[in-house]
A and B are shown apart, each in its own frame.
Chain A
Amino acid sequence: MRCERIRGLLDDYVDGLLSEAACHEVEAHLGECEACRNEDAELRALLDGAASLDRELPPPRDLWPDIEARIAAERKESVSRRPVSPRWRFRMSLAAAAVAIIAVAAVVLHRQKPSSVIPTAPGTLSVADYDRENDAMIVAARSYVAATAELTAAWEGRRDEFSPETQTVIDENLRIIDDSLRELNEAIRQDPSRFELRRLLVAAHQKKVGTLQMLLRVDVPPSRADWRDRKLKPYSEEEKS
């Protein structure tokens, strides 16, 4: 009877879900009952086996071409069926304008002389500080590359919500930031010892991530009122609002 009760608790025991008192009860019993100890060992062996299974498995063929084709079909369908209200288009224009400001700021920032951007006077950093900062900059830049890839994919996923004109403006501004990143990377390649360049690179990455995040957050869909207005007002009046 006691063995049955203890075995009923073993799952929670190995998962660490038992109270302290129940834990002591199980441990005391395991200390004196070989059969239950074997049960416990068998359960733990199963969990070890499960944990050792590969969580990743490559598909037998490249699935991307099929996925890409399905996405292309989705995009086509989504463009043809989704009406874009003029008010939404206006908001997108504002977003694009904000992007332009951020992009220009990024370019100006990286073209400034390093001494005007980095407030630290020469000689105030020890070699150790310098190395530590330089390493941190490298890590930060790598993190931003990963974040940018993810956000860029998200932006691609919703670009059809924007008017073609707005898409062009946004793409152009993202291109400006990318140019800045390329220039900075090239400068760092030529002079890897200058960590000011890495700071600027991180700043440029920040701008790109911030820009993409902003694009993803400007997600005020046409409200019910917008659609009600659309039905009540002639298109020409709505354009004026």
Chain B
Amino acid sequence: MSAFETLYRANVNKVYGLSYRLAGDALLAEELTQDVFVRAWQKLATFRGDSAFSSWLYPLAINVILGERRSRQRRNARVTTAADLARVAGPVESRPALRLDLEQAIAKLPAGARCIFLLHDVEGHGHDEIARITGVTPGTSKAQLHRARRLLREALRS
């Protein structure tokens, strides 16, 4: 097994999970995950070993996913299926129904709000970091997060 394959195997679940939630589509998430690792390969020379590989890979992955998602969305809009959502939420019997509801509600968020919510409340990034990664201002990040939380609470109430 090559060293890069080792790194792929150590990080693929995290990259795929993020791709899936940001893209809301299983096939697209597979393509995005591949894109992330190919891009990582191309840019490996910029990894200096002064941080963990995952810390280096993660912002790169978000950039690739957001960039590709935007361009692909323009080309073909796909509809997220119930089966897709069940997959990301895992087997129903092993998880509370609330979690599936939350996954479904997240998937229905507008793209910008979903992205910020995932990065902030699921992945745990701060607004400054999100601003750096996505290119929006910290103020926009906060506004989108506020919107996402409001929409999610409304969706979960109904």
Contact = CB atoms under 8 A, between A and B. Distances in A.
Contacts of A60: 26, 30, 87
Interface in A121-169: 147, 149-154, 156-158, 161
B29 interface: yes
B82 interface: no
Interface stretch (B59-67, B70-78, B117-125, B129-137): B117-125
A150 to B, nearest CB: 4
Contact of B13 (A11, A58, A216): A58
A58 B18 CA distance: 11
A154 B149 contact: no
A74 interface: yes
Given A43-B149, A71-B38, A153-B2, A63 B48 contact: no
A153 B48 contact: no
Given A51-B121, A53-B103, A55-B14, A209 B49 contact: yes
Nearest to B9: A64
B115 interface: no
Interface in A178-202: none
B interface: dominant SS? helix
A216 B12 contact: no
B92 interface: no
A225 interface: no
The number of chain A residues touching the other chain, given as a range, is 35 or more
Contacts of B87: 60
A89 B93 CA distance: 60
21 contacts: A42-B153, A46-B102, A46-B152, A46-B156, A49-B99, A50-B102, A50-B121, A50-B122, A52-B99, A56-B17, A58-B13, A64-B8, A66-B34, A67-B41, A71-B4, A150-B3, A153-B3, A153-B7, A154-B47, A157-B4, A158-B45
Interface of A: 11-12, 42-43, 46-47, 49-61, 63-64, 66-68, 70-71, 74, 147, 149-154, 156-158, 161, 209, 212-213, 216-217, 219
Interface of B: 2-9, 12-14, 16-18, 20, 26, 29-30, 33-34, 37-38, 41-45, 47-49, 52-53, 87-88, 90, 98-99, 102-103, 117, 121-124, 142, 145-146, 149, 152-153, 156-157
